[in-house]
Amino acid sequence: MLRPLLLAFALFLLADGPSFAQEALGEGWIITIGLQTAVAPSFPGAKQTSLDFSPSFDIRRAGEPATFGAPDDDFSIPLFEFGGISIGPTASLRASRSDNVLYGLPGYGSSAEFGAFAEFWPLDKAIRVRAELRQGVSAGDGLTGKLGVDWVHEAGSFTYSLGTRLDFADRTSMNTMFGVSPVTSLVNPSLSAFAPAGGLTTSGLVGSLAYALPDHWTTTLFGGYYRLAGDAADSPVTRSLGGTNQFTLGIGLEREFSLR
């Protein structure tokens, strides 16, 4: 339910937001909203893919320069800045998994995750380091985190980026996504009982190419390759589904306008 509401809100803003040219840039806030769609694994460990839609949002004070945001960044708002480090809240939505994608294997629903992020540019406008830590709010959810380093380059109307990613999860989240209970193993003997430990779940590479269009619109082509690691890769769920190697390809469209 959460994602359709966010999507509808973003569509409303895109359609009815005030014209950027009619607003004073020296006052108020600069809002960037958009939508992106991507072909991605249906859930962690899945080989099959699905088409996903998600909104994007950013806010900054008028007069402040826009900063780079990777397409896989979770929704976040920088509240504190000191020593070149930005810190603030972040939120994400974990995808669901249907019951019986493997016979006898229970599924799990979509879940909101809330936490904090920190971002640092050791080389201004060129190298970005970002970390996120989130806690799920549904039963069976635990802590998940992400660490990334991006190289960013601007060339006229184009912005290129290439980055590395490491994703982590604690024992609770790992067991929800990759665990196999003894009961499931009895129902489906091809799935041996498995209780994963917390740790690294994926490592990967992501890239994007953004192009600034007229009237403060921007379109972005992005993609990524992720490889499951540790107990996430060793899980009978992953081995049976064949989803150790995971790919993402998508496109996004954003519009920038001012708000006083």
CATH number of residue 21's parent domain: 2.40.160
pLDDT band with cut points at 50, 70 and 90 for residue 27: low
* Residue ranges making up the domain that contains 170: 2-259
Q: Taking 90 as the threshold, does the pLDDT of residue 117 lie above it?
A: yes
Mean pLDDT on 18-37: 65
Who's near 252: CB < 8 A, 6+ residues apart?
34, 35, 36, 37, 56, 71, 219, 220, 222
Q: Taking 60 as the threshold, does the pLDDT of residue 156 lie above it?
A: yes
Q: Are strands 49-61 and 217-228 parallel, antiparallel or unpaired?
A: unpaired
pLDDT of residue 59: 80
- Dihedral sign for Cα atoms in the order 11, 48, 94, 87: negative
Burial 97-110 (b: 16+ CB within 10 A, else e): beeebeebbeebee
199/71 Cα distance (integer angstroms): 24
Mean pLDDT on 85-94: 93
Mean pLDDT on 74-80: 88
pLDDT digits (tens, 9 = 90+) for 185-235: 999 999 999 999 999 999 999 999 999 999 899 999 999 999 999 999 999
End-to-end CA distance of the chain: 31
pLDDT digits (tens, 9 = 90+) for 11-25: 444 444 433 333 334
Q: Taking 90 as the threshold, does the pLDDT of residue 157 lie above it?
A: yes
Q: Look at the chain and report how many structural domains it folds into.
A: 1
